[in-house]
Homo-oligomer: A and B are copies of this chain.
Amino acid sequence: VVTSDDGRPLPPGPRRQGRARQPERRPSRSLSRTSIVDAALKVLDAEGLDAVTMRRVADALGTGPASLYAHVADKDEMVAAVLDRVITEVQIPDPIDPDRWQEQLKEIARSSLMTFRRHGDIARASLGNIPTGEGALPLMNAMVGTLLAGGVSPQVASISVDILALFFTATAYEESLETYSREGPGSDEFHAELKRFLGSLPVDRFPHLVALADPLTSGDRDHRFEFGLDLLVRGIASTVEPPRTNRHRAK
């Protein structure tokens, strides 16, 4: 009765993951929201998001796809639940240290990227979900809190959270394509081929692509992420006026 079936914004308060706790007759055969998410997560890690289908997950649980609908409204909801569970793994610095807010913000972003990396191409689902589940709330709260601790205005903090999340999620998704899309072989071969292609373009039409064929195709993933992260965080920091009282131990 309490369960809202329809959509994202759920009522607050102490919400349970599955149904009410009950003495499970046979743990291995009983279906539950939790066990469904477990199974789906396993499929995701092993074969990627495309393999996470109702039929595939049901099969892993030894039942038919129709059985899942007693615990999950939709495929979308199931994937959202998996995403929420994954986001739970993101490490959040505690406590917030106002003197290190920029670094702590970066730590959250890095941990988010690493968490996505551990779970196939789940970032794709995150890009389209603006996650507001139980698992995402602590993360969002921490990011906002860290920004506020740094003296960032509420308005800028709000936008910044969005942009930072967009950045690490999109980065994770793009990275995951190298592994989970048909078209590209491993990154190395693909990059080499792309470099040859750019280098052989007509110079009069695409002079800059020809000239930069090498750097354009040789970027290091981590370096690129750190570069972008630094741009964003420094930019955000530039919106807060420097503290008036410069403590003695400014070092």
Q: How large is the interface on A (under 10, 10 to 19, 20 to 34, 35 or more residues)?
A: 35 or more
Q: A182 vs B124: C-alpha distance in the bound complex, in angstroms?
A: 17
Secondary structure call for the A interface: helix
Chain B: which residue is nearest A80 at the CB level? B183
Q: A8 vs B170: C-alpha distance in the bound complex, in angstroms?
A: 21
A170 with B177: CB separation less than 8 A: no
Q: Could you say which residues of chain B place their CB within 8 Å of the CB of A154?
A: 211-212, 215
Q: Choose the segment among A33-41, A86-94, A227-235 that binds chain B (4+ C-beta atoms closer than 8 Å).
A: A227-235
Given A200-B12, A215-B158, A235-B235, are A208 and B144 neighbors across the interface (CB < 8 Å)?
yes
One of B158, B197, B205, B206 near A212 (C-beta < 8 A): B158
Given A12-B200, A193-B9, are A209 and B141 neighbors across the interface (CB < 8 Å)?
yes
Q: A148 vs B124: C-alpha distance in the bound complex, in angstroms?
A: 32
Q: Could you say which residues of chain B place their CB within 8 Å of the CB of A230?
A: 235
